[in-house]
């Protein structure tokens, strides 16, 4: 599959988030995991969202509204989350379209590395 990756990186899907969603590779940084999770939201890939969520904080029920179309991600800031870090934070803005109206979600997400793999821990949504 080619075409631009939904995470707004500017790269093609196969050179960006696809290997992570397919399970062919692990996201090397917190920011890349963040991007791949946005792409999973855009595709409604619940299995990947669960897999990339920390087992302590993953919700038991994870429902995705199929009418909510995530179409743009902006990474505003990130701290640590690199190749040699164990924790990291990523601040982002995600935009969606919905029949009831479009919107923007801003969040500061926390990531931790467990057994070498980055996982989403939790996030604080900004108003």
CB of 66 to Zn ion, least distance (A): 20
As a whole number of angstroms, the distance between CA 67 and CA 97 comes to 8
CB of 16 to Zn ion, least distance (A): 3
Query: Is the CB of 17 or the CB of 49 nearer to Zn ion?
Result: 17
Phi, psi of 112, rounded to the nearest 5 degrees: -130, 155
Query: Is the CB of 16 or the CB of 112 nearer to Zn ion?
Result: 16
Query: In this structure, are strands 103-114 and 69-80 parallel, antiparallel, or unpaired?
Result: unpaired
Cα Rg of the chain (Å, integer): 14
Query: Is the CB of 10 or the CB of 57 nearer to Zn ion?
Result: 10
Phi, psi of 15, rounded to the nearest 5 degrees: -95, 5
Phi, psi of 32, rounded to the nearest 5 degrees: -65, -35
Residue 111 CA from chain centroid, whole number = 11
CB of 9 to Zn ion, least distance (A): 5
CB of 19 to Zn ion, least distance (A): 10
Query: Is the CB of 42 or the CB of 121 nearer to Zn ion?
Result: 42
Residue numbers at the binding site for Zn ion (CB under 5 A): 5, 7, 9, 16-17, 35
């Amino acid at each position: 599959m080619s075409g631009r990756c939904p995470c707004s990186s500017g790269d093609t899907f196969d050179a960006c988030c696809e290997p992570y969603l397919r399970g062919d590779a692990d996201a090397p940084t917190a920011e890349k995991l963040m991007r791949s999770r946005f792409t999973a939201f855009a595709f409604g890939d619940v299995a990947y969202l669960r897999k990339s969520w920390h087992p302590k904080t993953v919700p038991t029920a994870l429902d995705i509204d199929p009418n909510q179309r995530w179409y743009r991600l902006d990474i505003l800031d990130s701290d640590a989350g690199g190749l040699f870090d164990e924790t990291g934070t990523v601040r982002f803005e995600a935009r969606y379209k919905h029949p009831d109206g479009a919107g923007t979600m801003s969040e500061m997400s926390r990531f931790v590395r467990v057994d070498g793999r980055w996982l989403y821990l939790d996030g604080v949504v900004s108003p």
